[in-house]
Copies of this chain bind each other. A is one copy, B any other.
Amino acid sequence: MATIDDVARAAGVSISTVSYALSGKRPVAVDTRRRIQAAIDELGYRPNAGARMLAGRRTRIFALTEPLRLDTHAPTHMAFVLATAIAARKVDYDVLLLTDAETTTGMQRVADSALADAVLVLDVAPDDDRVALARRIPVPSVFIGVPDDHDGLVCVDLDFEAATIEAVDRLAALGHRRIGMLGHPEVSYDRSNFPPRVREAFRRRADDHGIAHDFRHTGVGATSTSAVRQGISEMLDAGATAILLHCSDTCHAIALAALDARGLDVPTDISLISVGSSFDTATLTTPIDALPLIPEESCERAVALAMACLDDGRCAPGVHLIPPTYRSHASIAPPPAAARRAG
């Protein structure tokens, strides 16, 4: 490959001018810049990554740690990885993958060897091992998700509480007096950081409105269908006129099928809102209103925060919550007249 010397010679300038023309950190005369660009194009020059890291003390690489646990939902996870990669490229950064056992030892290794400028932490657990590590290593890190102990850390996440509250409020405003919620499988409430936040907000807000509420977990794998069906049945039997969904796409589909099987129409007979889903609820057999978790938003914000750390050293520790957006697909309406009388 051509080096910066080749370019300088071809353009008839010094290497520092080439360097400055590339970085823009110093004004370069227009036609000088043109000659340099021509040389670059002709030679197919690309700055050597290693040399740049060494001289510039910048790797232009983010390390992305992802445990890839067995219970990780692959499609959601992939969406986050992809979103991170795209967000990184927008600021001219690459992404280095740290998986499995390497999530912890790898963070240390990558930080110590200056292989990455910052670490992005995915798939955050409430008691995540990477919290302690993040505090120790010499490079900044940004958590996409909020661990229990997040003192001094930089965290990004959807504002799940706000999303849940908005969902409950909308139903309350329409006159619903009994609402249910279908949550994730029970284990997720220990392993993951956000489901408990949604559950709590749901109960509290419903209480605030004086609305009867009924939260139910869903099952995993083969048990999911029956668990969802049963949950739905019991909620309906108890008189629920609206259901919030905070669970997998499969669970959404099963719920819709169950309602359909009972001959219920959405939203005439029952209102539905999906909270914090990261798939498109508009493409379900019946589109559902949603306050979605958008990987692109979280990841772009995370990258922006990381860049701020690097550029000005302004690391903005704290939990950066992304305000939810309501996407309407006509899946909510006032409760049926019968329920209003009964309620």
- Can you give 17 contacting A-B residue pairs, CB < 8 Å? A44-B112, A46-B109, A46-B112, A46-B113, A49-B113, A50-B53, A50-B59, A51-B54, A72-B78, A74-B74, A78-B78, A81-B97, A82-B100, A85-B98, A86-B99, A94-B96, A222-B285
Cross-chain contact B95 with A96 (CB below 8 angstroms): yes
A83-142 contacts to B (CB < 8 Å) = 85-86, 89, 94-100, 102, 106, 109-110, 112-115, 138
- Count contacts on A: residues with CB < 8 A to the other chain: 43
Cross-chain contact A100 with B115 (CB below 8 angstroms): no
Copies of this chain assembled into the complex:
2
Cross-chain contact A113 with B59 (CB below 8 angstroms): no
Chain B residue nearest to A97 in the complex (CB):
B95
Is A204 an interface position by the 8 A CB rule?
no
Contacts of A100 in B (CB 8 A): 82, 85-86
Is A64 an interface position by the 8 A CB rule?
yes
A114 in complex: contacting residue of B48, B94, B112, CB < 8 Å: B48
Is A52 an interface position by the 8 A CB rule?
yes
Cα distance, A59 to B59, chains bound together (Å)? 12
13 new A-B contacts at CB < 8 Å, known A48-B114, A95-B97, A222-B285: A1-B112, A1-B138, A44-B112, A49-B53, A50-B51, A53-B53, A53-B54, A64-B97, A68-B82, A74-B77, A81-B99, A89-B102, A95-B96
Cα distance, A76 to B75, chains bound together (Å)? 10
Contacts of A54 in B (CB 8 A): 48, 50-51, 53-54
A169-186 contacts to B (CB < 8 Å) = none
Cα distance, A188 to B254, chains bound together (Å)? 27
Contacts of A98 in B (CB 8 A): 85
Chain B residue nearest to A110 in the complex (CB):
B94
Least CB distance from A26 to B in Å reads 22
Cross-chain contact A1 with B114 (CB below 8 angstroms): yes
A188-237 contacts to B (CB < 8 Å) = 222
Cross-chain contact B113 with A85 (CB below 8 angstroms): no
Contacts of A94 in B (CB 8 A): 96-97, 110, 115
Contacts of A99 in B (CB 8 A): 81-82, 85-86
Is A61 an interface position by the 8 A CB rule?
yes
Contacts of A285 in B (CB 8 A): 222
Is A12 an interface position by the 8 A CB rule?
no
Chain B residue nearest to A2 in the complex (CB):
B112
Contacts of A49 in B (CB 8 A): 50, 53, 59, 113-115
Is A47 an interface position by the 8 A CB rule?
yes
Chain B residue nearest to A221 in the complex (CB):
B283
Cα distance, A52 to B51, chains bound together (Å)? 9
Least CB distance from A119 to B in Å reads 13
Contacts of A50 in B (CB 8 A): 49-54, 59, 114
Cα distance, A31 to B78, chains bound together (Å)? 49
The residue among A77, A98, A115 with the most chain B CB atoms within 10 A of its own CB is A115
Cα distance, A81 to B285, chains bound together (Å)? 32
Chain B residue nearest to A48 in the complex (CB):
B114
Contacts of A78 in B (CB 8 A): 68, 72, 74, 77-78
